[in-house]
Amino acid sequence: MADIDGADLVDGFLAGDEGCLEIVHRRWSPLVHTLARRSLGDAREAEDVTQVVFLAAWRGRAGFAPDRGTLPGWLVGIARRKIADALSARTRRTELVAAAGAALLLTADDAVVHPEAAVERALLADELARLPVSQRRVLNLAFYDDLTQSQIAELTGWPLGTVKSHARRGLHRLAGRLGKDEDTVDAD
C-alpha cells in the first residue's frame, strides 16, 4: 500500500484498514518505543509495551476522535497509560519476590524449604493487605492470632454478626482474587 497522509490515513485507520494500521505503526512506533524505553529503562519491556500500545489502539480505534486531537497524540496517551501499567506490574513483581524471599528466610530453619509455599504465603499476605481494614483485621486476628469469632468481637467491640460478616466477605474476596473455588470457602 502506498504511503498516505493526513485525513486519508486517519479515515482508513478508523475504518479498520490494516494497511493504514501498518503505516501508523511504521510511522509512530519509534516514538512510542522511545517513550517506553526512556520510562522503563529496558529495551525488551519497551518492545512489549509498544506492541501493547498498538494493539490497544487498533482495538480501541473507535474511541479516537480526530476533532479532539491528533493520532500521534492519542497514541502517546495510550503509551503513557501502558507504561504506567508496566511500572505497576514491575513494582508488584518486585514486592512479591521480596516477600517470597523474606518468607523463605523465615522458614530457612525448616528441614526442607518449600519455595512454592513461600510464594503462596507472599501472595496471601499481598492480597490480605488489599482487603478493607475491617476484613483484614478480622482475618488476621482469626488466623494469625488464633482467636475465635467471639474473642474477636469482644476484642474489637463489634457485634458477633459483624465479625462473622467481615470474616465471610474477606474470605470470599481472597478466594476470588487467589482463584480458589468459592464452594470450598462455603464448605468451611
CATH number assigned to the domain comprising residue 59 = 1.10.1740.10
Residue 33 lies in a domain: yes
Q: Are residues 11 and 77 in the same domain?
A: yes
Q: Are residues 16 and 74 in the same domain?
A: yes
Residue 123 lies in a domain: no
Least confident of 2-6, 44-48, 60-64: 2-6
Least confident of 33-37, 49-53, 64-68, 179-183: 179-183
Q: Are residues 88 and 15 in the same domain?
A: yes
Residue 122 lies in a domain: no
Q: What is the pLDDT, as a whole number, of residue 100?
A: 61
Q: Determine the average pLDDT of the residues in 28-32.
A: 96
Q: What does R_g of the chain's alpha carbons equal in angstroms?
A: 25
Residue 25 lies in a domain: yes
For the record, the C-alpha cell of 98 comes out as: 521480596
Q: What is the pLDDT, as a whole number, of residue 129?
A: 85
Where in the sequence is the domain holding 61, given as residue range(s)? 6-92
Q: Are residues 21 and 83 in the same domain?
A: yes
Residue 184, C-beta contacts closer than 8 angstroms, at least 6 positions apart: 175
Considering the entire predicted model, what is its pTM? Answer: 0.52
Per-residue pLDDT reduced to its tens digit, 123-160 = 777 888 888 999 989 988 988 888 899 999 999 999 99
Q: Are residues 88 and 137 in the same domain?
A: no
Which one of 74, 92, 110 terminates a domain?
Answer: 92
Which one of 71, 92, 113 terminates a domain?
Answer: 92
Number of structural domains in the chain: 2
Q: Are residues 70 and 13 in the same domain?
A: yes
Which one of 62, 92, 122 terminates a domain?
Answer: 92
Q: Count Cβ atoms below 10 Å from residue 47 Cβ, excluding itself.
A: 14
User: Residue 69's pLDDT band (boundaries 50, 70, 90)?
Assistant: very high
Residue 35 lies in a domain: yes
Residue 185, C-beta contacts closer than 8 angstroms, at least 6 positions apart: 171, 172, 175
Q: What is the pLDDT, as a whole number, of residue 182?
A: 47
Rounded to an integer, what distance in angstroms lies between the CA atom of residue 119 and that of residue 39?
29
